[in-house]
Amino acid sequence: MATCLRLQRCGAPRLRPALPGHGLRPRAGCWAPRPAELRAYAPGLGALPEALLRTDSFVGGRWLPAAATFPVLDPASGAELGRVADCGAPEARAAVRAAYDAFCSWRGFSAKERSSVLRKWYDLMIQNKDDLARIITAESGKPLKEAQGEVLYSAHFLEWFSEEARRVYGDVISTPAKEKRALVLKQPLGVAAVITPWNFPSAMITRKVGAALAAGCTVVVKPAEDTPFSALALAELALRAGVPPGVYNVVPCSRQKAKVVGEALCTDPLVSKISFTGSTATGKVLLHYAADSVKRVSMELGGLAPFIVFDSADVDQAVAGAMASKFRNSGQTCVCSNRFLVQRGVHDAFVAKLAEAMSTHLRVGHGLEERTTQGPLINEKAVEKVEKHVRDALSKGATVVTGGKRHRLGRNFFEPTLLSHVTQDMLCSHEETFGPLAPVIKFDTEEEAVAIANATDVGLAGYFYSRDPAQIWRVAERLEVGMVGVNEGLISSVECPFGGVKQSGLGREGSKYGIDEYLEVKYVCFGGL
């Protein structure tokens, strides 16, 4: 019998095992005759950290309930983890007002003072890294080891921007007039509305918020409805770190209220900046909202990452890169490889070795299982999309090498899947799957591969494997993406700029460039000297 994570609102949130009979049940249409049971956990293994669990909104340094609540579910079992404040437009506007009031004082903090506050927040994340990871696994389903990695990645953005806060430099410009001097100042924009996704519920917040706070901005965060506990845990740590009231605010809401809350945040005249990570379709809606008041925007939107393996590649190295790039978080990352383009000379060897690696190294299960490398997809809709892509590909001539159906665990679990004989007219070739599906397209020439890779209206990340130096330079420069991995499947780093081209977004996050997204450039002319 599975032991599910559940929260109770009775003073501090507490957990209790699921009631008998509340485990996984067979689902109509599954390929397996009956779902397997998730392993029962030892007592205490599923317990989440009470000290970091919060269920109210966080506005102006206070925990505030809302008139309604919404459930947060464990994607592996469907068990209710807890109920969280379901904020609406009034609560969003109140959070903006709190952030605006706080901005008037926060912008006056010295760079060193802001740096110290961010550093304390980072230190607390490191001290509580195991508890934060368990929260991520519970609400997003990702394996615990990956969640632990995300917490470190997330914390390092606070560390990085605590250092960058003291490196916001202006300029002195020589003018042709002897009696004049020209200065360039960099000043904080104001209140930033931050809207984040569920697949990295901690790191996508700190990557934005760290830069904003370092620059002197204040923020209102609307976390994804699937994963609000991570944002609220960060708020608890921000409070302990001495982040002043109103500087960091969190307004969780249900999927039903997401549109009105997003609109309220993006149209409020007190908001100067919008930062969003999510789908291209939603990004376009938010851009329309921002246009009316000409707000600054950062958008990290959808991708369709190509993964190209040339004949000159080290096939074993390419397979290792493919495993890292494709199957992290069960394929639910915006930079996951979505299309595998493999040159004819190494195609068969690559497919065979990738299938073997998938069979050997991928283990599907609950994220708290020690051996799990592939957790559930976030919800039923996500599973249905993977099924749709597989079904479409098979109907058009693709072949299943391994996987291809829902996993025997049922619910939101799907088998890691490898398809061969894939063509460009299949959905998986031109739609982002966001799941554990690796479709392989065979090609003949470098020009053909680059043309296929660029034949899309998005361009976030791209990967290719080659040992030909001239080819490496050519392809790296010709790929129409914002980030390129050459003989490398994992490219994200706090020190490097993250972002895309075409309809994959606007602006860059992380790195020394990330803080510029929250700064205004002001020119000052001194005359009469």
Helical segments of 294-426, H only: 315-327, 344-361, 380-395
Give the burial class of 399: count Cβ atoms within 10 A of its Cβ; 0-12 exposed, 13-18 middle, 19 or more buried: middle
Backbone φ and ψ of 468, nearest 5°? -100, 110
> What is the residue type of 245?
P
Residue 210 makes CB contacts below 8 A (sequence gap 6+) with 118, 157, 158, 160, 161, 162
Examine the residue annotation and report whether 236 is marked as an active-site residue of this protein: no
Largest interatomic CA distance in the chain: 86
- Give the whole-angstrom CA distance, residue 158 versus residue 400: 43
Catalytic residue among 91, 146, 300, 415: 300
- Give the whole-angstrom CA distance, residue 217 versus residue 194: 12
Nearest to 166 by CA among 203, 100, 209, 119: 119
Residue 345 makes CB contacts below 8 A (sequence gap 6+) with 311
- The sheet that has 171-173: what strands, in order across it? 171-173, 181-188, 519-526
* 460 in Cβ contact with 504 (< 8 Å): yes
Place of tokens 């020394």: 512
> What is the residue type of 362?
L
17: which DSSP letter? P
Nearest to 133 by CA among 117, 114, 154, 147: 147
Catalytic residues: 300
